[in-house]
Amino acid sequence: MKADINVRVLTEERTDQRMFIPFGKPNFCDDEIEALIRVMRSGWIGMGPETIAFEKELASFLKAPYVVTVNSCTSALFLSLLVLGIKPGDEVICPSLTWCSTANAILYTGATPVFCDIDPNTLCLTPESVAAKITDKTKAVIVVHMGGYAVDVNKLAKALPEHVAIVEDAAHALGAKYPDGTCVGSSGNLTCFSFYANKNLSTAEGGAISLFNEELYTRLCSLRQHGLNSDAWKRYINPQAALVPLISELGYKMNYTDLQACIGRVQLRRQQEFFKIRKEIASIYYEELQNTGVEFQRDCLAERHSRHLFTILLPIEKLSKSRDEFVIELRNRNIGVAIHYPPLHKMPLYSQYCKDDLINTDYVCERILTLPISASMSFKDARHVFTEFLRLFEQSLT
């Protein structure tokens, strides 16, 4: 692999400690740039041969027979619910500790999101928290692999009525492993991934669905392209297909492109490199902060976790500052900490969908804080983060 362009690798030293360290940053090198040039020179930049190749390579990586790429993980979640027959009047359970896309995808179908509580150690839903929300209207559960922690979906499935489907929101979890050691995405559930700018595999934007059902695969391929029975590349390479493109149901403009896919193919080959860097950064944080009283997400150093995020819970009872004040002060020191996430059930748009207290979610969301972690960070970046964190922490002890 050629030298990185404008990207720090783990062993490099930061030359200016005052530079802002974002919570997540993509790592691109010459290989991604050369792939882009190659595709641009080919004259075909829409969905075509690169997309097909990326889907096959990602399917192989995930150990799933089918992968459908789309323009975002939000679209992936929406289309997954749609092909499962989710409709107005149905209920779909999901955690409140998630990005708004999870709940929005439910609302797009006309169904009702129902928020469940989480385990404060894993930051994810549990079979018990889901069971407490099941009604005769429940048709699906969206499992969020929060931060990259792989939920035991097989255990969850055993606790659900047979008619309730599982959709996995794996936006954070590319590379994570279920408890049985298999890849997230290989469960047989419709599993949705994100390739947004800060994700473990980034193509700036984009998403994908892994699945095992050929009929659903065919339908998803059509729905992402207006409901057409053939896409532009098929019509280009097959004159007969260009004659009578048919539309059998209302579809959407949610396709991926070869400009993104060629980046994704390179990023996929670099996942082991990225995984190693993220684990080393996480290990540094864990070693330096384990005696402060902060709580870590369970298995944050294990194979079960992709370490897309490194989240901690502040012991706010010991501090003179609130979590929000802590975040602002660290950002003033150019440490790009973030909050993942403000709970959805506290937001005006979604508050009507939660009638009960979510005790664990509320506990977590008063304390949660994300430290910077990415494959573009150096050891010195990580040291600077925990040094500034510890300095502020000690200043804030009551």
Helix (H, G, I), strand (E, B) or coil at 23: coil
165-169 and 138-144 strand pairing: parallel
Number of H helices, E strands in the chain: 14, 10
Topology annotation, domain 271-396: Aspartate Aminotransferase, domain 1 (3.90.1150)
Cα–Cα distance for residue pair 136/292, rounded to 1 Å = 46
Cβ 211 vs Cβ 191: under 8 Å: yes
Domain boundaries, the chain: 30-269, 271-396
| 8-58 tens-digit pLDDT | 344 444 444 568 999 999 999 999 999 999 999 999 999 999 999 999 999
CA atoms within 13 A on the CB side of 346: 13
Helix (H, G, I), strand (E, B) or coil at 80: helix
Instruction: Enumerate the active-site residues.
Output: 199
Cβ 46 vs Cβ 68: under 8 Å: no
Q: How far does the chain reach from its first CA to its final CA, in angstroms?
A: 50
Task: Retrieve residue 250's tokens.
Answer: 């209302």
CA dihedral of residues 192, 198, 201, 206 (deg, nearest 10): 50
Taking phi over 0 as left and psi of -120 to 50 as alpha, with beta for the rest, 346 belongs to: alpha
Q: Give residue 358's identity as a one-letter amino acid code.
A: L
Ordered DSSP codes for 129-193: HHHTT--TTEEEEEEE-GGGB---HHHHHHTS-TT-EEEEE-TT-TT-B-TTSPBTT-SSSEEEE
Measured between alpha carbons, how far is residue 331 from residues 96, 319, 323 in Å? 25, 18, 12
DSSP summary character for residue 5 = S
Supply the pTM of this predicted model.
0.94
Cα–Cα distance for residue pair 313/120, rounded to 1 Å = 9
| 139-152 tens-digit pLDDT | 999 999 999 999 99
Cβ 337 vs Cβ 372: under 8 Å: yes
- Whose tokens are 């799933």? That residue is 64
How does pLDDT run along the chain (398 residues), one tens digit per residue? 333 434 434 444 444 456 899 999 999 999 999 999 999 999 999 999 999 999 999 999 999 999 999 999 999 999 999 999 999 999 999 999 999 999 999 999 999 999 999 999 999 999 999 999 999 999 999 999 999 999 999 999 999 999 999 999 999 999 999 999 999 999 999 999 999 999 999 999 999 999 999 999 999 999 999 999 877 667 666 776 666 678 889 999 999 999 999 999 999 999 999 999 999 999 999 999 999 999 999 999 999 999 999 999 999 999 999 999 999 999 999 999 999 999 999 999 999 999 899 999 999 999 999 999 999 999 999 999 999 999 999 999 98
Helix (H, G, I), strand (E, B) or coil at 221: helix
Instruction: Determine the CATH number of domain 30-269.
Output: 3.40.640.10
Where does 170-325 show beta strands of DSSP type E? Answer: 190-194, 207-211, 295-296, 310-313
Strand partners for 141: 93, 166
Task: Retrieve residue 207's tokens.
Answer: 């998403």
Cβ 278 vs Cβ 376: under 8 Å: no
Cβ 277 vs Cβ 306: under 8 Å: no
